């Protein structure tokens, strides 16, 4: 079917050239993949330096530990940390999905769509669960 349509000259002439990425509605697996990249960059910066700063502060002395606790307690830093936590958990869940795809699990269209929904939901639900546990 597709090949015949592509072969037809009339269709080829009128085929739309529309490559504005902002206007095309991306399928969910594409959104998951894009979020994987964006979250990866944000985990590199500011994620890694913040992680090391936090590790150093909480481990160096009881005074620094207490200072870290008061820094983290403000609503602004709580919001920022929850966002970073979501980036991490989304990156983790989407990464597990990509590993499964590498092993040829879930490559069919219906499965790929279903697992991208699961990944998006799992990232958000885990973020809410962990932030409820911590705070």
Partner 1 sequence: MVKRIVTGAHYGLRDWLAQRVTAVVMVGFVLCLAIALLISPPHDYATWKSLLSGRWMRIAAFLFLASLFWHAWIGMRNILMDYVHATGLRLTLQILIILSLLFYTIWSVEILWALELAWR
- Give the x/- contact pattern for partner 1 in 82-101, rule: CB under 8 A: ----------x--xx--x--
Residues 24-83 that bind partner 1 (CB under 8 A): 37, 40-41, 43-44, 48-49, 52, 55-56, 58-62, 65-66
**Using CA atoms, how far apart are residues 123 and 118, in angstroms rounded to an integer?**
8
> Which residues neighbour 89 within 8 Å (Cβ) at sequence distance 6 or greater?
122, 123, 126, 127, 130
- 119 belongs to the binding site for partner 1 (CB under 8 A): no
Reference 28, options 125, 105, 96, 109; nearest CA is: 109
Can you give the binding site for partner 1, defined by CB under 8 A? 37, 40-41, 43-44, 48-49, 52, 55-56, 58-62, 65-66, 92, 95-96, 99, 102
């Amino acid at each position: 079917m597709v090949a015949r349509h592509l072969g037809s000259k009339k269709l080829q002439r009128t085929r739309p050239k529309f490559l504005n990425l902002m206007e095309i509605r991306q399928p969910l697996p594409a959104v998951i993949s894009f979020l994987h990249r964006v979250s990866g960059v944000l985990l590199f910066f500011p994620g890694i330096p913040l992680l090391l700063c936090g590790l150093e502060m909480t481990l160096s002395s009881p005074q620094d530990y207490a200072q870290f606790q008061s820094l983290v307690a403000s609503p602004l830093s709580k919001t920022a940390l929850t966002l970073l936590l979501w980036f991490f958990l989304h990156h983790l869940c989407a990464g597990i999905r990509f590993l499964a795809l590498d092993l040829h699990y879930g490559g069919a269209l219906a499965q790929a769509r279903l697992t991208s929904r699961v990944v998006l939901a799992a990232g958000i639900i885990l973020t809410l669960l962990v932030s409820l546990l911590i705070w």
